[in-house]
Structure 1
């Protein structure tokens, strides 16, 4: 597969990226600061706006960010490349200690980033991990970033795609996300799969600079249904969807047995795998790329990337958390934003 980060177009203009620091008791605040410490050399074409409680960020800069507390924030801001948008905590927060009182604070960060991106103030948003249970305990029904972004932007269908970076450029998108396994078959339909493939194809073209993305599609059943003996979803739903997508000019191939597809000899030359359900594609992806992988939401009117891990409460404030995934998420957001800006200029 091609690397997740496509080459930056020539004459790239500056882009502005909003970064939400996520669950305050988790590793998000310190990983954000660690990742941005070398922003000038990594992303000279970008400006970053960090959303979070500034005293919290200063404390984490000293405790876990490997930086010198408040002076470090001032030094980052002095470059002119990084700005800090203070959004106050509801209550004080200690590393590793969840407090439902701060559940709405986490959503406030996300809402500010979404509103700014929709208004054109931000070219992309990068989200640090949040704790779903804390938001639900605060009285706000919350399934996850992906579903929330879709609702807040009024997007009927989005696609979750996880991607490796560096030496592991595997991309895996999902036809269904957070559903019980018993509900997956009923959720699959020809129109839904065609729309999913259309979104993947369009976003890989526009935001990754891939002229004709090759998308490999898994079956749902073992052995891709074994010609109907192990299930008919491949015959009745997936194959007709692939035929329709191909008629639209989308290079979608399959359905392939999921247990054999994830091998280099099959993936060579492909740009993305579309898996039918969460635990069909993501265990392979995370095994191969964990710690340097990212989460990308396709189909939105805005660009959003995120880390591939959770809040890591046991590591918060210790300085041991690895910022590799956050760096990759920032890197991909910058590259996608530059590509999208170039596409707008090209008409």
Structure 2
């Protein structure tokens, strides 16, 4: 089968012919019908995240936002059958650790990142293996497009989990979203769907216009604004109730924390680059005196995907609205390169392999 393989960090992925996977006894193989191209793939391609032990090895098949059809089933799998349409989370869990058993499989103590770890080749390929499939493969509702569901593996569910489960967003709250890439635009859409007033922040007017389409009531172009937190405080009459760093650079993280009102909540979604290497200095004294909460959001528990599906069925959420384009597997190297200059918008999705 064809797959996009990392051979050298920062060099174009190689489109190669590799062996098709066979299912483990507890696994399934899915035919990949769609896979989002995520900024996390860009980080992996750059060779980032050695500081958290997540740097992918050379020879890795990247891609971690797949949706597709089950084509082979391991003998121990009980909940899935050939022909089922499924989505797969990027943070594969074992289902047996204490954290999984307590309902938090998204932060499994033995997590295996799809497309980043040698044990879990990714989904920029015609087929992808899903281990512990009863735990990790999420059956999709009837009549939904795999392209629309591709972002469920990472960006859309992470944004949903951040705002619905981690932060206390309620109707009428002001929510600031810093960075309007795929996960940022997903956060704008989710926040609007739950009744919040959204302020979107980015450097590109095109992305800010897209944020307005998805529900942002105000936008801030950071390239034209001397003090982003002050601008948000003015818009929100005192600061955001919840703010999201959807990019992961030092400036957006600090702006997100600093734009909050007293007892506000910051949610960190974006992971850092080589410049930060996992550490960002923060205004800790001000955080103490204002009782600011600093929260993380990492994917979402597979059993809770139904919350999104119910909102999709009623028209409250539309993950496809964040999909910006569909491309072929051969386009993946160029789309990753475009992310170096933030030239992509929304969620590009591979739908031809």
Using structure 2 for the length normalisation, give the TM-score: 0.30
Larger Rg: 1
Larger % of helix: which? Answer: 1
Larger % of strand: which? Answer: 2
Using structure 1 for the length normalisation, give the TM-score: 0.30
